[in-house]
Amino acid sequence: MSVDATLLALAGPAVALAALAYTIVQTRKKASAEALAKIEGKVEAKADAAVVTALAGRIDDVTHRVTKVEDEIAHMPDRETTHRLELSIAEMRGEMKTLAERMKPVAAISERLQELMLQEGRPR
């Protein structure tokens, strides 16, 4: 059996499994939404107007704080960007080491020229 035939044989069950998972998630989501709506109805029926106002104010405060945090996080680099920065820094370290090794002969030449100039400038 070729690879294509194997993939085609597995595609049907994979699609069925994905459809089953989607159905389960949607059913749970719908059940949760209905339960939440039922609980909200009970809470609204029993809640005091002053308590609701106080809670609404607290919810507004928390919502504002969450929005500020989300805004700050939106400007931060993601994992991929951080990884690329790390790789770039590692590459730059390697280039700096190479550059330092290449500068050693230039420094030696500079020292020899300075010594030569000092010797030529001295009276004999």
Percent of the chain predicted with pLDDT > 90: 40
Confidence (pLDDT) at 107: 93
Confidence (pLDDT) at 124: 57
What mean pLDDT comes out for the span 3-7? 76
49-78 as b/e, with b when 16 or more CB fall inside 10 Å? eeeeeeeeeeeeeeeeeeeeeeeeeeeeee
Give yes or no for a contact between 113 and 105, defined as CB atoms under 8 angstroms apart.
no
Confidence (pLDDT) at 3: 73
pTM score, whole prediction? 0.38
pLDDT averaged over the chain?
A: 86
For the stretch 26-83, pLDDT in tens is 787 888 888 888 888 877 777 677 777 888 899 999 999 999 999 888 888 889 999 9
Q: Name the residue ranges covered by the structural domains of the chain.
A: 79-124
